[in-house]
Every structure is written in C-alpha cells, then in structure tokens.
Amino acid sequence: MPRYAFQVEYDGAPFAGWQRQKDHPSVQGALEAALAALERDVPSIAAAGRTDAGVHATGQVAQADLQKDWEPFRLSEALNWHLKPAPVAIVACARVPEDWHARFSAIERRYTYRVISRRAPLVHEAGKAWHLRGAPLATQALQQAGRHLLGRHDFTTFRATLCQAKSPVKTLDELTVEEIPHAHGAETRFHLRARSFLHNQVRSIVGTLERVGAGAWSPEDVRDALQAADRAACGPVAPPEGLYLTGVGYPDDPFA
C-alpha cells in the first residue's frame, strides 16, 4: 500500500487532543474521517507526536497507508475538502517509502509557546496564547534561566506524573526567548527543540520560566529545580492554549 506523509496544521481548541477518543472530538479522528471519505478501510494513522487538549500545531506530521496511488497535491486537496469545517488543514503532502514512519523516523521536534502580557482581555488571539495581565516578562532573565536547561539532563522536575516515557533523561538542544511587538502589550515567545520531549515538559518549563520573567524566581532557582529531579520543585504548568507544535525534523525532509 502506498504510504503518504502529511504536514498538518490545526487549532487545538475544539479538540480533546491529537489522539482518537471514543466520546470526544480529536484531530486524529477528524483526519481519519476525511480519509474514510476517500477510501474504505484506511488503517489507523500515526503522528510524530500526540498533542494534548487545546494545543495547536503548524507543523504536525502524520502518515497514512492508502490503496490508491494518489498524486500528493490532489490527495491534499481532497482531504482539505472533506476536513471542512473542522479547523484542520493539510498544508503539504508527499509519497514516502514504506519503511518511513512519522514518529520513529523523526530526529527532532520543535515547539513554540506564546505569552501575551497586557491588561485588556485578548480578543482576536483568545485561546491562541497564554494571557498574562501583569507587566511584560523580563527577557534577559528568561534567557539566563533557560541556559540552565540546555543539554542532557534528568528532566523529572518538568515531567508529568503520568508520563509514560521509559526515562526522564532528555537532551534539550534549543531554548530561545524572543520578544515580539504587540499592540497594547508585549508578546514573549519561547522556542524549544529536542529529539523528543516528555509529557508536559514544554508547558512545565515555560510555566517555571514565567516565574523568573515575573521576578518571583531567580534564574538560579530554575537550575536548582532541575537538579532536584522532583516534580514538586516545578513551577506552575503553563496552560495548553499557548503551545504550538511547529515542526518535525527528518534525515530527509519528505516535504522538501
């Protein structure tokens, strides 16, 4: 059966996460329903990562095995037609080898987390960023604190208690903080890159760093929290609506 890779964009707000669920809408369920409108008995699809409820994506990657030899552009157009009105879109499609896998062939995942600081409620970006009503976060302090997390560490402190990963040891390859001009306020974006992440690792890191940016913690407090290897040492977990899966890297980019 021909295998296809899809680059998928979605608004996570109306979904209970990526993974198919019996009684709740999911991104996987929406995509599989669109595939079923094209072919019968399409096997279950796989994704590079399972995003939680409310988490968005601009660069999720999924795969599907189909019976027909589709031209990739026509396949993406057909799927986008059948995905309506769900806030999900196929932004790229490619034919890939049968041994290629969206999850296991990936060599990195990239996430961005958005924080908007302003007094007034968010209107156009409601549900698309973490809204803080205090002063803008201190970028220099955030960058200093983030450097303590780079490299290979035991990230138990920043791991959900129900995380199913075999080991809490991960290598964080990038953690950069960006200031973005924003009307009537300020936006801070956190960019993180690693081969793989623990469950809730990004949101736990951002929630902890927010304490530094707000002046409640020092950058050294983040270092101490990491070294504690204790979930109780973590700061608050940032809400899901600010998190975006922005890209997945492969040895050979199927969408190049």
Segments making up each domain of the chain, as ranges: 3-105, 108-247
- pLDDT tier for residue 164 given thresholds of 50, 70 and 90: confident
pLDDT, residue 1, reads: 86
Q: Is the pLDDT of residue 161 over 90?
A: no
pLDDT in tens, 60-86: 999 999 999 999 999 999 999 999 999
Name the percent of the chain in helix, strand, coil, to the closest 5.
25, 30, 45
pTM of the shown model: 0.96
Matching CATH topology for 3-105 and 108-247?
yes
Q: In the CATH scheme, what architecture does the domain 108-247 have?
A: 2-Layer Sandwich (3.30)
Nearest to 236 by CA among 220, 214, 254: 214
Catalytic residues, by residue number, are 52
Phi, psi of 106 (to 5 degrees): -70, 145
Token pair of 70 as six digits: 């589709």
The proportion of the chain whose per-residue pLDDT surpasses 70, expressed as a percent, equals 100
Half-sphere exposure of 208 (CA within 13 A, CB side): 29
Say if domain 3-105 classifies as CATH 3.60.10.10: no
